[in-house]
Structure 1
Amino acid sequence: MTGNQGGANYSATLGERLRREHEARRQEDREREERILNGGTTGNDASRVTRGRRSSQIPLKISAVHWYIKDNATNHRTERFELVERTTPILRRGQAFFVALRISERLFREHADDITVEFLFGSNPSPIEGTHQILKVKKTPLKDNSRWSIQLYGHDKNAITLQVRTSADAMVGIWRCQVKSNLVTTPGRPEVFQCPEDIYLLFNPWERSDTTYMPDKELLDEYVLNDKGKIWVGSYGTAAGRPWNFAQFDDSVLPCTMLLLERSVKPRSRGNPVLVSRALSKMVNSNDDRGILVGNWSGKYEDGKAPSAWTGSLAIVEDYFEKMSASGRPEPVKYGQCWVFAGVLATLCRAIGIPCRVVTNFESAHDANETLTIDRYYDDSNKELNDDPFNPGKKDSIWNFHVWNDVWMARPDLEVGGTKGYGGWQAIDATPQETSEGVFQCGPASLEAVRKGQLGMAFDVSFILAEVNADLVHWKKDREASRGWRRMNADKFSIGRMILTKQPNVFDPTGDSDRVDVLQDYKAKEGTRAERLALYTAAAGNTQIADFYGRSTSDKKGDVEFSLLDLDKIPVGDPFDIVVTLQNKSKETRTVQANIRLNSMYYTGLKAKEVKDASGKFVLRSEAKEELKMTVRPEEYMKRLVEYGIMKVSVICVVDETTQAWLAEDDFQIQKPCLQLDVKGELKIHQPASVKISFENPLDKILTNCSINYEGPGLVRTKTVPQPNAKALEEFHYEYNFVPKSIGNQRIVISFTSKELTDIIGSAVVDIVA
C-alpha cells in the first residue's frame, strides 16, 4: 500500500535530507567522544545560527522565526527528545504553544500589516483535507482545539509574539511553516518567509480531546515517556523478563518513524491512531513493504544478527534509517523474532505519542484454519501428524510465548448504532504470521471485543481471540469414528496461561517483581460461564467455528489415572528425569501402551530436533501404581538445543482393554547463566567511564565466535564488539570504556553471543551526574 500517492519524489527528498542531517549529528558525536577518551575537552557544543538583516522593504519583513523550542517542549512533555537539543520543535497536537516572528527595518503596525502563518503537511497540502492550515494573525483569543487557531500575544520593535493551538485531530508527522506579510490597505504581492525548521507534531494522550487520551496520567509516564522496559520470554513455568531499551527519544527514531508513515499512510489519515498503529504493525516487518525487520526462526543467522543478540530498538532503527536509499527503497535489518518486532513497534508508538505496552502471551495459539481450536492429529501408532488432514499445507501450533503490543485509544469507528465501550487497550502485532486485508499486519483489535467474542469488530479480533482462548483438541485415527477421527480430549485451559507486561513505573533490575499479569484484560477466568460465553458468541457468528462447537464435547473416560511430573528450570549441563505416574483404579488388570518423546523446540511451537524417544507396553495389576522414568543426560540434549533452550515432553498412553487414551505435554527451559555487570564509582556526563562484564561458562567446551553487544540510550551508543574464545568451565571477563552523554538515571543492557551458547543477558542501572 502506498499511503501518499504521487508523493514518491517528496518522500525521497524528505528522506535524503533527514538522513544527511542525521549523519552530520552522528559525526559530531563521534568527534566529541574521541576527544574525551583521548583526554581532550568537550568545548562548547552549542550551535548558533545567525541571520543577516535585510534592508527595509514594504510589506513587513520577517527575518527569522523563534520557536521557543525548549520552553514549548517542557510544556508539551517532549523535552527528552534529542532533536529538541538539536533545535527542532517537537509539539503535541491540541495544545497551545508560543512562537515569535523576528522583524527588521521597521515596526509592526497592528492595523496596517496583514500577517498570515501557514502550516503545510505532506507533498500536496490541501485546506480541504486539513493538510494546509492558513491562520490570520489577530488579537482574538484562541479557539477550542477542535480547529487550528492563532492569537497575537504581543509585539515590540524586534518581534511579534504569537500563540498557536493545533487541533486535537491534526495530522501527526512533519509540518512545514511559512509566514506571509502584506498590507491591509494596499495589498500586493506578499513577502514570504520559509521557516527552515521541521515541526514534528505528535499525538497527545494528555489532552482529553485527543483520541489517544489516557485518563490516568501516571500510566503515561510508563507507556509514553519510559524509554526502558522489559519483555518477558521463555516458557510458562520459567518466564523471565528481558531488559529492553526502547530509546524512543533518540534523534534517529522520530525521522525514521515519519518516513515509515510517509510510505504507508495517506496524509489525511495520519491523525487517526487506528490507521497509524495498523500501518506501523505492517511497516515493522519486511514482508510486504521492505519494512524494518526480517523475521527468522531457523536458528541460522550468519548473514545478519541473531534475534537473541538485540538488547533494544535503537541499533535496529538506526541501521534501517541510515541505509535507507534516496529512492525510498530501504534495506531491512536482519533478523527479528516476535519480541524484537514488539520492542521496535513499542518504540515507534511511544515516539509519536501513542500509549503502548509490550505483552507476552504464554502458550499462545496460532489458529491456522480459523476454527478457534488447536487440533492435533495422531496416527494408529500414536505419532503426531505433521499436517492437518482437513487443511493440507496448514497446521495449528502453540507458541511457548508470543509477544505483541497493546496501544491505548478511543475507537469511534466501533461505535455503531450507539454502541460504545470498545476503546481502551487495543492489540497490534508486527510479527508476520497471517495476512490481514492481504498484507502482514494485525490490529488494532479491541481487547473488550476479544473478551466478549465480538468477531465483527475491526480489526483481527478473531486471530487475537484464538491466541489467548482457543481450545486444544487431540484426535486419534479411528476408522469407526465420525470423520475417521476419534477425539481423545478437549483441553480448555492450555491456551493463554498468562499474559505478562511490565508493571507501570516499577523496575526490578535483577528479578521479576516488576511483572504484572493482564490476562483478565483479554478473557474472563478460565472455565467460568463468561469465558465460555465469549467463545460461543464467536462461534455463533461463524459457521466454520459453529460446526465444531456444535459437536459433542464429551471425552472418553477410563479407570486408569495418569500424571506427568512438571519440570521447572533445568540448569544447562545438568541431567534430568521425565516421570509419568500410572494408577489403575479398577479391579481388573490393564495393559497400557506408552510413548514418551522429548524434543527441542523453537519457541513458535515447531519441533527443532528429537532428543529422545521411548516406547513400551506395561501391565498394571488391579489397583496398582507405577512410575515410568526416562533419564536424559547432558550429552543427549546439548547438541540438540536451539535458541532459548525450550524443550517439550509429549506423552501418549492408550489402554488396550478400554481404548482409553491420555495425552500430556510439558514445556520447560534449559536455563543459561546471567551476565554480571559491575559499574563502580560516580559517573559524570562527558567523562570517561567503564563497565566490567563477566559470566561463568557452564559448558565443558570452548565458546567460539563470541561477541558482546551494548545498548544504553543516554549512556552509550549501540555497539557490537568481537571477543576471543571463552574457555570451558571458566569465568569470562571483559571491560568496556564509554562516555555517558545524558544526565539522570540510565540503564545499560549487554548481551553475549557465541556459536555454542547464545542469549546471555545482563543489565545495570546507573546515575549520571553533571
Structure 2
Amino acid sequence: ISISVFPPSNVCIGRYILNMQITSCGHTYQRCLGDFYVLFNPWCADDPVYMDNQAHREEYVLNEHGILYEGVHKHITSRPWHFGQFEDGILDICLKILDMGASYHHGSDRDHCWRNDPVHVSMVVNHMISSHTTNSIMKIPENNDYLKGTKPFSWNGSVPILQQWYSGRCRPVRYGYCGSLASVMCTVMRCLGIPSRVVTSFCFPCSIENPLGINEIFDSSGKNLCGKDKLWRYHCWNESWMARRDINQCCGDWQCLDPTPLETGRGSACSGPTWVRSIREGELDLDYDGHHMFSRVNSNYVGWLSQNNAKRTKFFCDTWPCGQRLITKSVGSEQFEDITGAYKYELGSVKNKEAYFRAYRRIHPGYCNASNCHIERELSSLKNPFLSDSGINMRLKMANCPMYGEDVQLHWLLENLRNENKTLKFNLCAQIITYSGCPMDQFWKDSVNITLGPREVKKIPLCISYNQYGPYLCDHNIMKVVAVSDPECGEVLMVSRDIVVNRPPVIVKLLSQPRLKVPCTAEISFCNPLQEDMKNCVMTLEGCGLFKEPMTIDLGTLASNQQARTIVEFTPYRLGSHRLLANLGCHKF
C-alpha cells in the first residue's frame, strides 16, 4: 500500500508522526508508520514564501555555500562560509530553536498555531540568535574580550556553531560577531524553507542619542576618541523572502532581519522583519523597527575636534554618508551584487529627498507637520559654513594593497584651490579600529608643515612600517590614518582613510579526483610572510559533504618565511559541488 500526504499550504511547519488506525471485528489497533517533516515551500505558489525564479530558489534555499563580505567600503574583502542547512541533525536543531523561542511573542506554544506564518517564525529565530536570554545561540564578546571562548572570526560555517549550542544544553556559544550571527540565521531560515541571504552594509552608524546622526570625536593629534556613537566599518544582517500578510502584501519580497542586538535609545534590541521597500520609501510606521533600519543607511556624519577635553569644534559634516554600499552574493556567482538601490534612492534625487523628509517627520514628532523646506533648512544648519570654504582639497590614496608583514604605503594629495599661498601645520596619526568602530591603540604619529603655492598640487608619500603596526593589529585587520590641521592655524581640516591589511593566503591543492565514498587527498600549504615567528599555528579544515566535523592540525611555531605543507585525507559522503575550507589561526590572528 502506498500512502501520499499532501499538507495544505497553511499547515504549521514541524515534525509530524503518521499513525494508522485499523478497526476489525470490534477491535481497534494503532500502528506508527513513521514520522515526516513539513517545511515552508518556496516552490508552491500558495505558500507565503513562494519565489517564482528557479535560479533564485537554488541560490537562496538550496545553496550551502556562501560568501561574507567585510573590510571597508573602499577595500571590500570576502571569505567563504558554509551554511550547511542539509547536514545531518541540522533540521532537528532548527526546530529545537523554535521550541526554545516559543514563549517570545506567544507566551505559550501548546498548539504551535503560529508556525505557519513566516513572519512570526522569522521573529522567533531572530530573537533566538543573539538575544540576552540564557538560551540564545551565540554570544557577542564584551569589550573585544574573548579569552573564554572561540575567536569570533575563526568560524567558517554555521554547522559547528549550531551543533555546539545543541550539545551544550542550548547555552550560548562563545563568541560570534555580526557576520556569523547573520550567517547562522541564514542557515536556519533556509533549512526551514524560507529563502534567505546575508547582506553587508559599509559605514553603518550606531547612535544612541540622535537616530539620524552619528558623531565621531578626534583630538588635536588626530586620534579617534571613544564616544557614545560608533561608526561600524561594516555590518551584516539577514534578508528573507516572504509575503507579509500582516501589511497586506500579496506577493513575496525581501524583508530585513538583523539578529545582532544593537544599542538604541531604549536599550539593545534585534530588528525586523522590516520590508526593504518601506525603508527606501521612508514609510517607517508601516513595519517593525523601520526607523532603526532607515537611520542606519541614511544618517549624516559629523566630526568633532576636542581640545583639552573641553571645547569641541565641528570640522566636518557629510549628509547621508552611511550605508554607502550594500552588497550580497550574486545569484550563481562568486561575485557580489550591489543592492544599495533597494534600500535608498540615488543620493540627492527627488525621490531620495522625499523619502528622507517622510522618515524625518516620523522619527522627530515635532516635525510631523513641517514642510519639506523647513526640514531642509534644519539639515543645512548642521553644516559649518566655513567647512566648504577652506580652499584646500585633500585625500589619502593607497599606493599598495598591504598584506601582513608588508609596509603600508599611502599618497597624501593636497590641492590649493586659491590664488594665494597656504601654510598649515598638520598632525598625523594611525590607530587600530575594530570593525564595530571602537578606537583602540594609537601606534604612529607625526607632524609636518605644508606650504602650498597658488593652485599648487602636492603628493606626499607616507609609509607605516609593519614593525610599527604589527604588534597592535588585531583580528579586525583595520587601521585608521588621519591628518588634521593644528587648531592654532585657525582652520580645522581633516582627511582620513580606513585601511585593511590582508591576511596571508592558505593554498589548497587536490591530489586526486574526489569520488563519492572514496578516500581523497589534498595538500594544504602556508608560508609565514613575517620577519618573526608565528606561534600556536593551527590549521582548521572543513567542508559540507566532505568532513563530518572540522579537522584541526597543530602546526606549532612557524619561523620567518618557513613554509608548512601537510597532506590530508577525507572521504566525500554526499554528491554535488562542495567547497573545502582551510583557515589558519595563530597568536597574530
Equivalent residue number for residue 563 of structure 1? 394
Equivalent residue number for residue 371 of structure 2? none
Q: Deviations for 1:88-137, whole angstroms, at most 9, x for unmatched residues?
A: xxxxxxxxxxxxxxxxxxxxxxxxxxxxxxxxxxxxxxxxxxxxxxxxxx
Taking the aligned partners of 1:545 and 1:240, their CA distance within structure 2 comes to 42
> For residues 620 and 204 of structure 1, do their structure 2 counterparts lie closer, same or farther at Cα, with a shift above 3 Å needed?
same
Q: Classify the secondary structure of the residue corresponding to 1:718.
A: coil
Equivalent residue number for residue 565 of structure 2? 733
Deviation, 1:380, is 7.5
Moved more, 377-386 or 549-558: 377-386
Deviation, 1:698, is 0.7
Q: Classify the secondary structure of the residue corresponding to 2:259.
A: coil
Taking the aligned partners of 1:248 and 1:381, their CA distance within structure 2 comes to 50
Contact 2:134 2:171 in 1 (8 A): no
Equivalent residue number for residue 574 of structure 1? 406
Moved more, 543-552 or 446-455: 543-552
Out of 16, 19, 22, the residue aligned to residue 178 of structure 1 is 19
Q: Does 1:303 align with 2:140?
A: no
Counting only pairs closer than 5 Å after superposition, residues 166-315 of structure 1 correspond to structure 2 as 166-182=7-23, 190-195=28-33, 197-265=34-102, 266=109, 267-285=112-130, 287-296=132-141, 298=143, 300-315=145-160
Equivalent residue number for residue 516 of structure 1? 337
Contact 1:341 1:431 in 2 (8 A): yes
Equivalent residue number for residue 374 of structure 1? 214
Q: Does 1:445 align with 2:290?
A: no
Taking the aligned partners of 1:653 and 1:493, their CA distance within structure 2 comes to 25
Taking the aligned partners of 2:375 and 2:466, their CA distance within structure 1 comes to 43
> For residues 219 and 247 of structure 1, do their structure 2 counterparts lie closer, same or farther at Cα, with a shift above 3 Å needed?
same
> For residues 174 and 247 of structure 1, do their structure 2 counterparts lie closer, same or farther at Cα, with a shift above 3 Å needed?
same
Q: Which amino acid aligns with 1:411?
A: R
Q: Which amino acid aligns with 2:329?
A: K
Q: Classify the secondary structure of the residue corresponding to 1:359.
A: strand
Taking the aligned partners of 2:401 and 2:142, their CA distance within structure 1 comes to 23
Q: Classify the secondary structure of the residue corresponding to 1:666.
A: strand
Equivalent residue number for residue 405 of structure 1? 238
Equivalent residue number for residue 663 of structure 1? 494
Equivalent residue number for residue 525 of structure 2? 694
Contact 2:432 2:442 in 1 (8 A): yes
> For residues 577 and 354 of structure 1, do their structure 2 counterparts lie closer, same or farther at Cα, with a shift above 3 Å needed?
same
> For residues 205 and 434 of structure 1, do their structure 2 counterparts lie closer, same or farther at Cα, with a shift above 3 Å needed?
farther
Taking the aligned partners of 2:58 and 2:90, their CA distance within structure 1 comes to 19
Contact 1:286 1:332 in 2 (8 A): no
User: Gaps (5+ residues) in structure 2?
Assistant: 103-108, 368-373
Taking the aligned partners of 2:3 and 2:382, their CA distance within structure 1 comes to 70
Q: Classify the secondary structure of the residue corresponding to 1:224.
A: helix
Equivalent residue number for residue 635 of structure 1? 467
Out of 481, 488, 497, the residue aligned to residue 315 of structure 2 is 488
Taking the aligned partners of 1:630 and 1:601, their CA distance within structure 2 comes to 19
Equivalent residue number for residue 348 of structure 1? 188
Q: Deviations for 1:545-593, whole angstroms, at most 9, x for unmatched residues?
A: 9598625244423242221222262122222344433343334454434
Q: Deviations for 1:412-449, whole angstroms, at most 9, x for unmatched residues?
A: 2123xxxx589500111122223799774221111001
Deviation, 1:464, is 1.6
Q: Which amino acid aligns with 1:364?
A: F
Taking the aligned partners of 2:264 and 2:87, their CA distance within structure 1 comes to 31
Q: Deviations for 1:360-399, whole angstroms, at most 9, x for unmatched residues?
A: 1122222323521112345678765533xxxxxxx22221
Equivalent residue number for residue 360 of structure 1? 200
Equivalent residue number for residue 22 of structure 1? none
Taking the aligned partners of 1:441 and 1:617, their CA distance within structure 2 comes to 48
Contact 2:21 2:28 in 1 (8 A): yes
Deviation, 1:256, is 0.7
Taking the aligned partners of 1:254 and 1:178, their CA distance within structure 2 comes to 22
Equivalent residue number for residue 575 of structure 2? 743
Taking the aligned partners of 1:597 and 1:380, their CA distance within structure 2 comes to 10
Deviation, 1:617, is 5.3
> For residues 379 and 544 of structure 1, do their structure 2 counterparts lie closer, same or farther at Cα, with a shift above 3 Å needed?
farther
Q: Which amino acid aligns with 1:177?
A: L
Counting only pairs closer than 5 Å after superposition, residues 317-356 of structure 1 correspond to structure 2 as 317-324=162-169, 330-356=170-196
Contact 1:370 1:463 in 2 (8 A): no
Q: Which amino acid aligns with 2:340?
A: L
Q: Classify the secondary structure of the residue corresponding to 2:12.
A: coil
Taking the aligned partners of 1:312 and 1:380, their CA distance within structure 2 comes to 43
Equivalent residue number for residue 541 of structure 1? 362
Counting only pairs closer than 5 Å after superposition, residues 69-218 of structure 1 correspond to structure 2 as 159=1, 161-182=2-23, 190-195=28-33, 197-218=34-55
Q: Classify the secondary structure of the residue corresponding to 1:456.
A: helix
Contact 1:367 1:463 in 2 (8 A): no
> Quick check: which has more Rg, 1 or 2?
1
> For residues 723 and 577 of structure 1, do their structure 2 counterparts lie closer, same or farther at Cα, with a shift above 3 Å needed?
closer
Out of 679, 685, 688, the residue aligned to residue 510 of structure 2 is 679
Deviation, 1:241, is 2.3
Q: Which amino acid aligns with 2:341?
A: Q
Contact 1:564 1:581 in 2 (8 A): yes
Deviation, 1:619, is 5.0
Taking the aligned partners of 1:596 and 1:413, their CA distance within structure 2 comes to 53
Taking the aligned partners of 1:409 and 1:690, their CA distance within structure 2 comes to 42
Moved more, 644-653 or 539-548: 539-548
How well do the aligned residues superpose, as a CA RMSD in angstroms? 2.9
Q: Deviations for 1:710-740, whole angstroms, at most 9, x for unmatched residues?
A: 2111111222332222221121211212222
Taking the aligned partners of 1:746 and 1:202, their CA distance within structure 2 comes to 24
Q: Which amino acid aligns with 2:568?
A: Y
Q: Classify the secondary structure of the residue corresponding to 2:322.
A: coil
Deviation, 1:474, is 2.4
Contact 1:689 1:738 in 2 (8 A): yes
Out of 430, 433, 453, the residue aligned to residue 259 of structure 2 is 430
Q: Deviations for 1:193-245, whole angstroms, at most 9, x for unmatched residues?
A: 344x3321100111111111112122001100111121112222221221111
Equivalent residue number for residue 528 of structure 1? 349
Q: Which amino acid aligns with 1:687?
A: V
> For residues 622 and 502 of structure 1, do their structure 2 counterparts lie closer, same or farther at Cα, with a shift above 3 Å needed?
closer
Deviation, 1:451, is 0.5
User: Gaps (5+ residues) in structure 1?
Assistant: 1-158, 325-329, 388-394, 479-483, 508-513, 759-770
Taking the aligned partners of 2:482 and 2:251, their CA distance within structure 1 comes to 40
Q: Which amino acid aligns with 2:173?
A: V
Equivalent residue number for residue 444 of structure 2? 612
Identity across aligned pairs (percent)?
Answer: 26
> For residues 637 and 166 of structure 1, do their structure 2 counterparts lie closer, same or farther at Cα, with a shift above 3 Å needed?
same
Taking the aligned partners of 1:664 and 1:189, their CA distance within structure 2 comes to 87
Q: Classify the secondary structure of the residue corresponding to 1:743.
A: coil
Deviation, 1:641, is 0.4
Q: Aligned pair count?
A: 568
Contact 1:709 1:718 in 2 (8 A): no
